Amino acid sequence: MMFNVLVVDDESVQREGIKDLISQYRFPFQVLEAENGMSAERILVENAIDILITDVRMPLMDGLALSKQARKMQQDLKIVICSGYDEFEYARSAIRLGVVNYLLKPLVREEFLEVMEDITQISPYGGDYQQESLESKVILQVKDYVKDHYQRDISLSDAAHDVYLSPGYLSILFKKETGENFSKYLTDYRLRRASHLLQNSNMKVNDIAVAVGIDNHSYFAKLFKSKFGVSPIQYRECGVLHDRVDQEQVQ
């Protein structure tokens, strides 16, 4: 079953963010969009819409006025309001209008997914969805993010933003799934890359440190020795512990 979804927000980046979530998790949604309430009203006249996702504060017609009009036009419409304003009056008005949920911006991905599942009774990825499966996919995405960006100054917050999660939630999830925290995983990945470069390039040790995202050379040497038991120079000269490096994880 395909659902017609109308996304209304005067900020294009917000509309794109919602569309990305819908696309990423393969909900069977046909998405229409509008930049204000009046444009959305015209779309509602011409199209049968199953789900309306709207911002509150917009020019010409705000989200609450739009919700009121939309409810008159299509009585079975499911309405979700996304707002950056955590104000009781907005929420109370939304409840009176029969809004099914009131989400705060920036959207927390797991909350958005929960609302969409509740409305449609359809799980992400086309059904047969298990929470463990989704969590594993998220961790794989985070690991891919590290692989693609470890040379830069990245943090847990950057990775969380990439997968549409709050840093706190990702921190808990990452530790649960991998048994280690994000910062340790990132550091270990950088050191594995460094060991690979020490064995397979003529780069200077200081240049290798920078290449793997660690600008402080003495700190790099300290981390490296803590992990491998020898200094970077000793590792290169003697090949000590080379067989302990998991080359599959490095590449």
> Which residue, of 179, 198, 215, is where some domain finishes?
179
> Which residue, of 126, 150, 171, is where some domain finishes?
126
Domain count along the chain: 3
Residues 6+ apart with CB under 8 A from 104: 82, 83, 84, 86
User: Do 103 and 194 share a domain, yes or no?
Assistant: no
Is residue 32 within 8 Å of 8, Cβ to Cβ? no
Using a pLDDT cut of 70, give the percent of the chain over it: 83
In the chain, beta strands by DSSP E: 3-8, 29-34, 51-54, 78-83, 101-104
Q: Of residues 161 and 102, which shows the higher confidence score?
A: 161
Residue 246's domain is classified under what CATH number?
1.10.10.60
User: Do 21 and 107 share a domain, yes or no?
Assistant: yes
b/e sequence 37-46, b meaning 16+ C-beta within 10 Å: bebbbebbee
- Tens digit of each residue's pLDDT (9 = 90 or more) over 96-109: 667 777 888 888 78
What mean pLDDT do residues 41-68 have? 91
Residue 78's domain is classified under what CATH number?
3.40.50.2300
User: Do 69 and 86 share a domain, yes or no?
Assistant: yes
User: Do 9 and 111 share a domain, yes or no?
Assistant: yes
- Tens digit of each residue's pLDDT (9 = 90 or more) over 10-29: 999 889 989 988 887 778 89
Domain residues for the domain of 222 are: 187-250
> How many other CB atoms are there within 10 angstroms of residue 1's CB atom?
7
Residue 187 has pLDDT above 70, yes or no: yes
Is residue 150 within 8 Å of 144, Cβ to Cβ? no
Which residue, 87, 52, 86, is CA-closest to 69? 52
> How many other CB atoms are there within 10 angstroms of residue 14's CB atom?
19
- The pLDDT, as a whole number, for residue 22 is 86
- The pLDDT, as a whole number, for residue 73 is 92
User: Do 23 and 118 share a domain, yes or no?
Assistant: yes
- Tens digit of each residue's pLDDT (9 = 90 or more) over 106-157: 887 878 888 888 888 765 555 444 444 556 778 888 999 999 999 999 999 9
Is this structure's pTM higher than 0.75? no
User: Do 122 and 78 share a domain, yes or no?
Assistant: yes
- Tens digit of each residue's pLDDT (9 = 90 or more) over 63-88: 889 998 998 999 889 999 888 766 55
User: Do 112 and 149 share a domain, yes or no?
Assistant: no
User: Do 35 and 97 share a domain, yes or no?
Assistant: yes
